C-alpha cells in the first residue's frame, strides 16, 4: 500500500478503521466478535490427526525480559513448600501430608501472552470510546482480559513468512507488507477468513533461542508487520493476530512520530486482539511437513480481573 | 467398596495402584499418557454447537484463599503503567505510546488450577519413583507442570452429582462413593472411558459465590470423592479428575491418620492429574438443558518451569 | 481550638500552614529541615542507660492489613533456599555452601512505616508545589522517601496519652485535642520543641494485639489527633509525628467532606513527615517507670527510590 | 596467620571458635551479645558534630543483582495508587483523599542488608546447635533476624583499607590479612574493641558505581577479608562485621573445597552478624577529612519474622 507512516497516517487509519459501536456500546472484546459458533464447529473439524502444539514459552528467569520495555521482568517462581521440607518431616506432625507448593510473580505480558483491549490508548480514549482513565492503579475497568474468558477458540492459520521467504529468520527491521501475507497464504494453500486467529512466524524467537541471546527481544528491534497491516486485518475481519515476536509489528518504527504506530490503531480503534511471544518452532515444522497450515486454535487467557492481558499457553490442534 | 481409611489402606492402595514405570522410567505425566491422538480427534467431533464455557474463576483479591492452607493468598494484581498515567502525558515525550501494563503475584494453586505430579509425595518419593528431594526451593525438578504443556486436550465429561441428587450443593463432609459416580454417568447417558477428563460438580463453589462467603473454601471442609475413588480412577484409566472444590476429595478426612488420604495415593502412586476450583455453573446449566454431558476439553497450563501446578482457565467446547 | 472541619477549613489551613518554598524550591523533605546538627548532638546526650526499644511490628501474615484500605496486604515472605534443602544436599555439589535465602513482598505502608511527602496530594499538587502527576506508575519522582535517608535522627518524645488519661487505650473516634497534647507533655515533664520526633500513644494497637483482633485496624476507625493538630504541629515546628495507629488522626473523620482531613493539610501543605503503626508497649512501660519520656530517636527508612514511604523499625535509645 | 584454607581448616576453626552455648542454649543473636548498655552510652558520646551518614544503596532496578547468586533479583517497586490516578479524579467520589501508595518485592539480601544467623549452616546445624531443618519454606524458625530488632546499636568503626593502601579500590581477589586490619586501625588512630560494629571499605562498590558496571558484584569476585579473619573477629569480640562488598570475604575463594569458607565458620560456629553491600563513599570521605573513624552506629533491621536477614539503611552518626 505504500503508506508513509506518521501521526497523520495514524489519525487517518484511526478514523477509517474504527470499530467503535460496531458491536454495541457495551462491547469489550472487539474483533473477537467476528468468531461465530459455526466457525468454532468448523475449526474443530480441522482436528484430524490428534496432534497438539503448545506455543507458550517457559515461565522462568531465562525469559526474554531485559528491562528494555516498561520495567518488565522475567517470571519469578518461588516455593511455598518443598520436597526437601517434606523429607525433613516438616509437615508430618501437624499437616499430615507431604507436599510442595509455589507462587509466581510476573508481568502479564512478560512471556507468551494476549494483549487486552485496555492495553493501548489513542489520545484520551481506548477501544469503543471508553475513557483511558478507566485504567488506573486498580486495574483495567473496561476492556479487561477477563471478558475474553470463553472467546479464544476458533480456526488458527499459520503464516510462516520466514519459511516462505526461504530464510531461518527475518532480519530485525524487516517490515512484512500485506501482499506478502497474501502470497504466503496462497503458497501454503490457505485463505485467511473472517474470525481467524492468524499467527505470523518470523523466526526471530527461534534465532534468539538458538544463539542463546535475547538481545533486543523483548523491547527492541524486530521483524514484523508493516503499519499498513491494520487495513489488511480490518478487511479480512480476523479475530486476532499473533506472532513469535514481542510486538507483532516491525521495529525500528516506520516513523519517529510514534512508537509502535500499528498498535496505536489496531487496539484502540479496531479492538484487534493481539498475541505475542508465541513459540512456533514445532508447529511450523509440522506444518511444513504435512502442508496443513490451518488447525483448531485455543488459547484461554487466565481470568485476570482488570488485566491488560494474560500469560497463555496457546494450543494448535491438528 | 467400604474401605476403612487408614495409613494401612493408603499403603495398600499405593502398592496396588502404582503406575511407576508403566510409561517408562522417564515419564513425568502419568495418567495423561492414557490420551491417544485418536481420542483427541474423537473429542473434537463432540464440538457440534460452537459453544465455549470458560471454567476459570476470576484472579483477584476476592478469591477463596483465606490462609487456611499453606499460606496461600489471593492473586495480587498491580499496575506497571496506566491510562491515568497516559492522559497525564507521562509517556508522550520519551516512550511515544500511551499504554497500560500490569503484573500478577499468586500461588499457582490459589484459584482454578492443575496440580502437577510434583505436588504430593509418599514418604520420600514422588510419582514414578523420583526422590522427593528433587523438589527444592529451586522448583520441581521432576514431574513439573511444564511437561504437560501439550497434554491437556481430550474428551471432557461432566458428572453433575449435585444435580443428580436433586440438590443445589452437596454438604461439606459428604463423600461421593464410586457407585454414585457410575449411577450419575448412567443417568446422564454417558460412560466414563480411558483418557477422559472427568469433572465432578458438587455445587460447593456456587453456594459460596451465592452467599458471598468462602468459609472453609479453600482449605477446610468440603464435599468430594471418597478415598475409594482412587480404585475407580485407576480402573477407568481416566486422564484427569477435576472438581469445583479446592481439593476434589471429601473433607473432613475419612481418617485422622492422614490429611487428604486420596491425594497420598493418586498423585504419587498413580500419577493422576488433578484439577481444582473449577467454576462449573454455566457449563452445568447448559448440560442440564441439552442433556449433553460430554464435550471437547482443553485446559492448557502455563509453562511454569518447575511448577507444582498452574493457574488455568479450562474450556469446555460443545 | 474548636475548628469545624470542612473542605473550607482544609483550604484555610492549607494556605495558613503552607511551607512551600520555606526551605527552597527544590526541597523534598519538609519539616525534617527543622532538625539541625546541634539537635542531633543534643539528642545523643539523652542516651544515658544504654536501653534500646525497637518499635517495628513483625512483618508477616499476622499483620493488621485486612483489605479495608487501598488493597494493601500483609507482608508475604517466601524462601529462596532453605535448611531443608541444605541437609538434603541440594547445594553441596555445585554451590558448595549450605545456606538459606528469602524474599519479601509488601506494601511499603502495610506495617510500621514512614509516609513520604509524595503520599498525599491537595488538588493537583503535592508538597512544595510539585505537580501530583510526578507520582506515576514509575514511582514518586519528587518527594520520594529516598531523600530522607540520612534525616531520621533526632530527639524523640513520647506523649503517652492513654496513660495520661488513665486508660489502657483510647476509644475509636476519640479525637485528641491540642491542649491535651500539651497537658500530657507537662505531666510527663517534657516540652515539645523544634525538630522533635513526637510519638503519640493511644494504646489502640496494644488492645488489638491483646484481643487478637485487628478489626478496623488498619483502614477503619481509630483514636487520633484532631484536625486542629495541624496548627499545633506547625507552631511547634516538630520534625515528624508518629503514633501507634494506622493513620495518626482520629477516625471516623471529623467531616464527611473529606477522608482524613488532617492528612490533606499536613503532608501537601506543611511537608510534615508522619510515622504510623508504631509498636510502643515496651517503650511506654519503660517511660512510665523511669519517668523519662525523651530519648534519642532514629528510624532510617529503606532507600526506596520513588517510595511513598518505607517500612521501618524505629529505635528509641535511652 | 598463613592458614591453608580447606575443609579441614574450616572444621578446625569451627571447633576452636564455636560460641554455641556461650550465651545460653536459647540464644539466637550470637556476637551481638558482646554489646552492653554501657557501650551504647559510650557510643552515643561519639556524636559530636550532628552529622548523619546513611549507608543504604537505592532499592530499585538499577541494583547489583544479576542472577549470579541464588536467583536474587533487584528490588521491584510497583505502585498501588498514583498522583496520576488522583488528578484523574479516581479517588474523589468514594475514597475522598488523593494519594499514592506502593509495594516492594525483593530478596532480603539483594541490597544493603544484615545476614541473620539462620543464613548459613555447617553440616546439619546452624548457630547455637539448632538443626538446619528449622529453616524451611515457612521461614527461619530459629536465629531469625527478628531477634535483633533492638540490638543493632553501638560503636561503629570504619576501617578504610583502600584509602590506607592508597588506592581507589582493592582489586578483586585481594584478601585482606588480619595484620592489615590492625595496621589500618592503628594508622586511623582507633582500636577495635569488644562489641564494635566494624565496617571495612574496599572501594569495590564505588568503582562499580563510577564505571556503571556491577559486573561480578553481586555473586562473583571481590576483594575481602581472608579466611583467617574468623580468628581475628573472635579474638576482638566484635559485634558485627560489615563491608561495601556483597560477601565481606575475598573471592575467588581461598580453596576449591568450599564456597565462601569464612561464612562456613563465622555464622554457624561463631554467630557473627554480618552486614553487606554497605555504601561507604560519603562516610569514608568525611572520616578521611576529620580523621575521626569512630561513630555511633545504628542499623535497625526490619522485623521480618523468620528472615534470613533484612534490607537496611545503616546510619553512622558523628
Tens of pLDDT along C92-127?
A: 999 999 999 999 999 999 999 999 999 999 999 999
Beta bridge partners of A297: A154, A316
CB nearest A82 (choices: D82, D105, D137): D137
Nearest CB among C82, C105, C138 relative to A84 is that of: C82
Binary contact (D71, B138; C-beta < 8 A): yes
Main-chain dihedrals φ then ψ at residue B44, nearest 5 degrees: -65, -30
Sign of CA dihedral A124, A128, A133, A138: negative
The 10s digit of each residue's pLDDT in D81-124 is 999 999 999 999 999 999 999 999 999 999 999 999 999 999 99
Q: Which of these, C118, C120, C126, lies nearest to C143 by C-alpha position?
A: C118
pLDDT of C143 strictly over 90: yes
**Omega before D218 within 30 of 0, i.e. cis:** yes
Contact A74, A298 (CB under 8 A): no
pLDDT at C231: 98
State mean pLDDT over C233-259.
Answer: 98
For residue C82, what are the contacts with CB-CB under 8 A and spacing of at least 6? A82, A84, A85, B136, B137, C100, D135, D136, D137
What value does the mean pLDDT take over residues A265-293?
A: 98
**Which residues of D are less than 8 Å from A88 in CB distance?**
133, 136
pLDDT of residue A68: 86
Spatial separation of the C-alpha atoms in residues A317 and A298, rounded to whole Å: 8
- Average the pLDDT over B174-195 and give the result: 98
Find the closest chain C residue to B77 by CA distance.
Answer: C71
pLDDT over threshold 90, residue C1: no
User: What integer pLDDT is reported at residue C159 of this predicted model?
Assistant: 98
Residues of D in contact with A79 (CB under 8 A): 137
* Predicted local confidence at residue B67, as pLDDT: 85
Tell me: pLDDT of D1 over 80. Answer: no
Comparing alpha-carbon positions, the chain B residue that sits nearest to C75 is B73
Of C204, B71, C200, C146, nearest to D305 by C-alpha is: B71
Q: Quick one: pLDDT at residue A21? A: 98
Task: Pick the range with the lowest mean pLDDT from A70-79, C279-288, D60-69, D134-143.
Answer: D60-69
Residues of chain A with C-beta less than 8 angstroms from the C-beta of B309: 102
The residue count for chain C: 318
In sequence order, what are the beta bridge partners of A154? Answer: A297
Q: What is the arithmetic mean of pLDDT over C267-283?
A: 98
Show which subunits contact C, needing at least 3 CB pairs below 8 angstroms: A, B, D
The alpha carbon of residue B125 is apart from the nearest alpha carbon of chain D, in Å, by 19
Average pLDDT over residues B108-125: 98
Q: Is D257 within 8 Å of D246 (Cβ atoms)?
A: no
Instruction: Tell me the C-alpha distance between A41 and A45, whole Å.
Output: 7
Helix (H, G, I), strand (E, B) or coil at A81: strand
- Neighbouring CB atoms inside 10 A of D164's CB total 17
pLDDT at position A127: 98
Residue in C closest to B80 by C-alpha:
C137
Nearest CA of chain A to the CA of D299: how many Å? 28
* Chain D contact set for A137 (CB, 8 A): 79-82, 85, 90, 101
Find residue B104's DSSP bridge partners: A106, B77
Is the pLDDT at C28 greater than 90? The verdict is yes
Q: Alpha-carbon distance A23 to D226, whole Å?
A: 72
Which of B84, B87, B108, B135 to substitute to test the interface with A, most A CBs within 10 Å? B135
In this prediction, residue D302 carries a pLDDT of 98
- Please report residues of A whose CB lies closer than 8 A to that of C98: none
Query: What does the pLDDT average to over A282-292?
Result: 98
Cell numbers for B313, please give them.
Answer: 482457565
Please give the pLDDT value at position B2: 82
Q: How far apart are CA C268 and CA D271, in angstroms?
A: 46
Nearest CA in chain A to B308: A101
**Neighbors of chain A with 3 or more C-beta pairs under 8 Å:** B, C, D
**How high is the pLDDT of residue B170?**
98
- Asked if B84 lies within 8 A of D88 by C-beta distance, the reply is yes
Amino acid C2: pLDDT = 82
Q: Do B71 and D138 touch (CB under 8 A)?
A: yes
How far away is chain B from the Cα of D166, in angstroms, using its nearest Cα?
A: 43
Cβ D51 vs Cβ D294: under 8 Å: no
* pLDDT of B33 strictly over 80: yes
Residue D27 to residue D24: CA distance in whole angstroms: 6
pLDDT of A221 > 80? The answer is: yes
Question: For residue C136, what pLDDT band results from cuts at 50, 70 and 90?
Answer: very high
Nearest by CB: B149 against A56, A138, A259:
A56
Task: Tell if the CB–CB gap between D137 and A67 is shorter than 8 Å.
Answer: no
- Interface-testing mutation among D36, D83, D252, with chain C (most C C-beta atoms within 10 A): D83
- Residue D29 has what pLDDT? 98
Compute the nearest-CA separation of D123 from chain A (Å). Answer: 14
Residue written as grid cell 524523640? C156
C86 φ/ψ angles, rounded to the nearest 5 degrees: -60, -50
Measured between CA atoms, how close is B52 to chain D, in angstroms?
34
The answer to whether the complex's ipTM is over 0.90 is yes
Query: Which chains contact B through at least 3 pairs of Cβ atoms less than 8 Å apart?
Result: A, C, D
pLDDT at C220: 95
Average pLDDT value for chain A: 97
Average pLDDT of chain D is: 97
Nearest residue in D to C264, CA atom:
D97
Q: Which of A56, A58, A98 best probes binding to B when mutated, by most B CB atoms within 10 angstroms?
A: A98
Identify the bridge partners of residue A175 per DSSP, sorted by sequence position.
Answer: A224
Q: Tell me the C-alpha distance between D278 and D156, whole Å.
A: 13
Contact between residue C262 and residue C230 where contact means Cβ atoms under 8 Å apart: yes
Q: Using CA coordinates, name the residue in chain B closest to C134.
A: B90
Cell 527461534, residue located:
A206
Q: How far is the C-alpha of A181 from the C-alpha of C290, rounded, in Å? A: 84
Name residue D115's beta-bridge partners. D274, D309
Whether residues B88 and D88 touch (CB distance < 8 A) is answered with yes
Chain A positions in Cβ-Cβ contact with residue C103 (cut-off 8 Å): 78
**Cβ contact (<8 Å) for B103 and D79?**
no
Going by pLDDT thresholds of 50, 70 and 90, the confidence category of residue A177 is very high
Give the residue-averaged pLDDT of A300-317.
98
Residue C215: predicted pLDDT? 87
Nearest-angstrom CA–CA distance, D257 and C43: 50
- Looking up cell 516506520 gives A254
Q: What is the DSSP letter of A210?
A: H
Backbone angles phi, psi at C232, to 5 degrees: -60, -50
From B248's Cα to the closest Cα of chain A, the distance in A is 15
Numbers of helices and strands, H then E, in chain A: 9, 17
**Residue D109 dihedral angles phi and psi, to the nearest 5°:** -110, 20
Lowest-pLDDT choice from A83-92, B61-70, B108-117, D134-143: B61-70
**Residue D2 pLDDT grade (very low, low, confident, very high; cuts 50, 70, 90):** confident
Q: For the residues of D49-62, what is the DSSP string, one character each?
A: S--EEE-PPPBSTT
**Residue D67 — very low, low, confident or very high, per pLDDT cuts 50/70/90?**
confident
Q: Are strands A76-81 and A101-107 parallel, antiparallel or unpaired?
A: antiparallel
Contact assignment for B84 to D79 by CB distance below 8 Å: no
Amino acid at each position: 500500500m505504500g503508506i508513509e507512516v506518521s501521526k497523520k497516517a495514524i489519525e487517518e487509519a484511526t478514523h477509517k478503521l474504527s470499530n467503535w459501536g460496531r458491536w454495541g456500546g457495551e462491547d469489550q472484546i472487539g474483533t473477537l466478535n467476528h468468531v461465530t459458533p459455526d466457525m468454532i464447529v468448523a475449526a474443530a473439524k480441522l482436528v484430524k490427526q490428534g496432534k497438539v502444539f503448545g506455543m507458550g514459552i517457559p515461565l522462568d528467569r531465562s525469559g526474554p525480559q531485559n528491562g528494555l520495555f516498561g520495567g518488565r521482568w522475567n517470571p519469578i517462581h518461588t516455593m511455598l513448600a518443598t520436597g526437601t521440607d517434606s523429607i525433613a518431616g516438616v509437615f508430618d506432625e501437624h499437616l499430615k501430608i507431604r507436599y510442595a507448593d509455589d507462587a509466581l510473580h510476573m508481568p502479564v505480558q512478560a512471556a507468551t501472552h494476549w494483549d487486552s483491549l485496555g492495553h493501548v490508548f489513542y489520545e484520551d480514549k481506548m477501544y469503543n470510546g471508553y475513557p483511558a482513565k478507566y485504567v488506573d492503579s486498580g486495574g483495567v475497568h473496561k476492556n479487561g482480559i477477563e471478558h475474553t474468558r470463553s472467546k479464544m477458540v476458533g480456526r488458527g492459520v499459520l503464516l510462516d513468512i520466514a519459511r516462505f521467504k526461504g530464510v531461518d529468520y527475518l532480519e530485525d527491521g524487516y517490515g512484512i507488507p500485506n501482499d506478502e501475507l497474501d502470497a504466503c497464504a496462497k503458497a501454503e494453500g490457505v485463505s485467511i477468513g473472517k474470525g481467524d486467529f492468524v499467527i505470523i512466524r518470523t523466526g526471530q524467537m527461534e534465532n534468539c533461542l538458538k544463539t542463546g541471546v535475547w538481545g533486543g527481544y523483548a523491547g527492541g528491534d524486530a521483524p514484523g508487520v508493516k503499519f499498513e497491516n491494520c487495513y489488511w486485518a480490518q478487511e479480512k475481519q480476523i479475530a486476532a493476530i499473533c506472532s513469535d515476536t514481542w510486538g507483532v509489528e516491525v521495529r525500528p518504527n516506520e516513523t519517529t512520530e510514534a512508537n509502535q504506530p500499528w498498535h496505536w490503531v489496531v487496539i484502540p480503534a479496531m479492538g484487534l486482539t493481539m498475541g505475542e511471544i508465541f513459540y512456533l518452532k514445532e508447529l511450523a515444522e509440522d506444518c511444513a511437513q504435512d502442508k496443513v497450515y490451518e488447525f483448531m486454535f485455543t488459547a484461554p487467557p487466565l481470568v485476570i480481573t482488570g488485566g491488560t492481558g494474560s500469560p497463555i499457553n496457546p494450543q494448535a490442534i491438528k
